[in-house]
Amino acid sequence: MTRIIAVANQKGGVAKTTTVASLGAALAELGERVLLVDLDPQACLTFSLGLDPESLELSVHDVLLGRVTAGMVVQATDEGVDLLPSTIDLAGSEAMLLTRTGREYALKLALEEIVEEYDWVILDCSPSLGVLTLNALTAADEILIPLQCETLSHRGVGQLLDTVHEVQRLTNRRLRVLGVLPTLFDRRTNHSRAVLADVSQRYGLPVLDPPIAKSVRFAEAPAAGRSILSTAGGSKGARAYREHAQALLAARGARHGDRELVGRKETS
């Protein structure tokens, strides 16, 4: 059963794209079929996986506007994941979608054609709470919140959760918060640890372990058009994302087992 995860935080620079690329690559290493979707007009995920956004004729922009199907745009990458790429044209999608009925469902409907081909679909959201992010939250089963361990990053979590609650009420009742993923984490500072403790207490959110340590290796990977799992596979960051991928697989298996148990009880 396909799981769709939106990676979102309206603050930029918190490693959303790094998380999508690294987590996707880690799941692919485990033999999973993975689709990544770039929903940011800056197209950083597209560039990070070795594609030139300026040379692409079709992108997720065309898919959201119904000009082409998602299957016509998806591209394979060297990381073993498929990608629904973005270009700067996506910046115009928001204004165009605003005039359309059911605009929050554009991505969900577009993915229906291909979603069963994958075990995981991971959505890289733009750093805003606009129509594109609402589309991601409406299409997703879960939201993962990367959080840079500093006060300014932490202040936006409440605003994002307000949006999540509105989505749960109006367009996607099944959406749940997977947790907060600490990024750019410096274990040596009391401040980083204090921010995480405050988030957990203030919002009651799970804080996922291990945190993603700050490392120059993450900055080097996009220049090679690969994830950190390819460019620095033995680094702490790569190992941490592999642990999170394994945790996702374990959690999916546990939920699947629970559903089978419920089904057996209902038929007995």
Q: Where are the domains of the chain?
A: 3-267
Average pLDDT of every residue of the chain: 91
Residue with more model confidence, 137 or 223: 137
Q: Is the confidence at residue 244, as pLDDT, over 50?
A: yes
Residue 108: which of 163, 64, 173 has the closest Cα? 64
Q: Is the confidence at residue 39, as pLDDT, over 60?
A: yes
Residue 267's pLDDT is 52
What confidence tier does 262 reach under pLDDT thresholds 50, 70, 90?
A: very low
- Euclidean distance between CA atoms 222 and 45, whole angstroms: 9
Class of domain 3-267: alpha beta
- The torsion angles phi and psi of 25, rounded to 5 degrees, stand at -65, -40
What confidence tier does 231 reach under pLDDT thresholds 50, 70, 90?
A: very high
Burial of 17 (0-12, 13-18, 19+ CB in 10 A): buried
Q: Is the confidence at residue 129, as pLDDT, over 80?
A: yes
Residue 212's pLDDT is 93
- Euclidean distance between CA atoms 183 and 192, whole angstroms: 10
Task: For residue 125, give both structure tokens.
Answer: 């959201």
Q: Is the confidence at residue 115, as pLDDT, over 80?
A: yes
Residue 112's pLDDT is 97
Task: For residue 39, give both structure tokens.
Answer: 């929903």
